């Protein structure tokens, strides 16, 4: 039996080989194009309409809860490109493991609740200075949070070599929350920080607690049905005096059998 996989996080990011999934390429391309539109006066309105903002409750721009993950965000520089590279790297692996349909469902399951929580927190009281709200979860940042959480959940026993430090993938769930808290300390984006926590928690719940296989509600219904059927069979056995010998594949004969 094969042991847990080992990954290495090095400057080359080691996950660029093989055939790239079209969905992930489109995702990265959309982030880059929308990011570029920010720096032209004629097109700056496009990312402004897509990204999460107080206009959700002030002007009814509720579509932003669904579009903000695609509003490429940040300052021009190497860090934005590194975020896209990491988005591609984790996205490629998660897409290969989950498949196209579950890949997009996972992104939606993590992003929509995160956006709702962030908006509610910011609406309830401005915890962040003007202009910094939602800074931590705009665009590729929330997608990266979700994909890393998905990778850590699906490959919880895999070892990630971060430069020279071996870390089990499951610890990346806590590391993401820690990084989010560090971001909160520097930006005071409390709404964004809770959005990160929500995205990590919802992604883990979706993939680890049954949602990734059949859907959490369907899984719960099937378990309830199994519990009810087993309970009913147990009552019938007690009522009729039937005794089942488990593990031997036979029923012990009573005085009523021949």
For residues 130 and 226, membership in a common domain is answered with no
Is 142 a member of any domain? yes
Per-residue pLDDT, 168: 83
For residues 58 and 145, membership in a common domain is answered with yes
For the cut 60, the answer to whether the pLDDT of residue 46 exceeds it is: yes
For residues 181 and 245, membership in a common domain is answered with no
User: Residue 24 — pLDDT band, cuts 50, 70, 90?
Assistant: very high
Per-residue pLDDT, 135: 92
For residues 122 and 64, membership in a common domain is answered with yes
Q: Report pLDDT digits (tens) over 81-103.
A: 999 999 999 999 999 999 999 99
For residues 82 and 152, membership in a common domain is answered with yes
For residues 13 and 125, membership in a common domain is answered with yes
For the cut 50, the answer to whether the pLDDT of residue 13 exceeds it is: no
- Which position has the higher pLDDT, 110 or 2? 110
For residues 122 and 221, membership in a common domain is answered with no
User: Residue 235 — pLDDT band, cuts 50, 70, 90?
Assistant: confident
For residues 240 and 135, membership in a common domain is answered with no
For residues 122 and 226, membership in a common domain is answered with no
User: Residue 223 — pLDDT band, cuts 50, 70, 90?
Assistant: low
Whichever domain contains 156, its CATH number is 1.20.1540.10
Is 134 a member of any domain? yes
Is 1 a member of any domain? no
Q: What total number of domains does the chain contain?
A: 2
User: Residue 19 — pLDDT band, cuts 50, 70, 90?
Assistant: confident
For residues 139 and 226, membership in a common domain is answered with no
For residues 69 and 169, membership in a common domain is answered with yes
Q: Report pLDDT digits (tens) over 145-204.
A: 999 999 999 988 887 776 677 788 888 999 999 999 999 999 889 999 999 999 999 999
C-alpha–C-alpha distance, residues 147 and 157, integer Å: 16
Least confidently predicted of 140-144, 152-156, 180-184, 233-237? 233-237
> Would you say 51 and 119 are in contact if contact means Cβ atoms under 8 Å apart?
no
pTM exceeds 0.85: no
Is 256 a member of any domain? no
Is 84 a member of any domain? yes
Backbone angles phi, psi at 15, to 5 degrees: -115, 30
Is 153 a member of any domain? yes
User: Residue 216 — pLDDT band, cuts 50, 70, 90?
Assistant: very low
For residues 225 and 107, membership in a common domain is answered with no
Per-residue pLDDT, 251: 45
Domain that holds residue 247: 217-251
């Amino acid at each position: 039996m094969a042991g847990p996989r080992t990954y290495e996080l090095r400057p080359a990011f080691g996950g660029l080989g093989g055939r790239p999934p079209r969905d992930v390429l489109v995702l990265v391309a959309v982030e880059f194009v929308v990011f570029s539109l920010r720096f032209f006066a004629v097109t700056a309105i496009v990312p402004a309409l897509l990204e999460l903002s107080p206009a959700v409750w002030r002007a009814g721009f509720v579509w932003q809860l669904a579009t903000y993950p695609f509003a490429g965000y940040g300052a021009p520089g190497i860090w934005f490109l590194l975020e896209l590279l990491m988005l591609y790297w984790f996205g490629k692996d998660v897409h290969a493991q989950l498949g196209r349909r579950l890949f997009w469902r996972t992104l939606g399951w993590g992003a929509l609740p995160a956006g709702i929580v962030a908006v509610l927190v910011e609406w309830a009281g401005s915890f962040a200075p003007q202009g910094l709200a939602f800074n931590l979860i705009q665009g590729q940042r929330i997608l990266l949070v979700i994909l890393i959480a998905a990778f850590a959940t699906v490959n919880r026993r895999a070892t990630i070599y971060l430069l020279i430090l071996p870390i089990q993938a499951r610890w990346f769930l806590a590391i993401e929350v820690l990084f989010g808290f560090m971001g909160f300390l520097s930006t005071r984006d409390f709404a964004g920080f809770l959005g990160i926590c929500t995205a990590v928690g919802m992604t883990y719940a979706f993939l680890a607690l049954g949602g990734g296989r059949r859907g959490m509600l369907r899984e719960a219904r099937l378990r309830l049905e199994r519990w009810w059927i087993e309970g009913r069979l147990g009552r019938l056995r007690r009522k009729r005096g039937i005794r089942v010998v488990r593990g031997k594949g036979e029923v012990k004969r009573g005085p009523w059998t021949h």
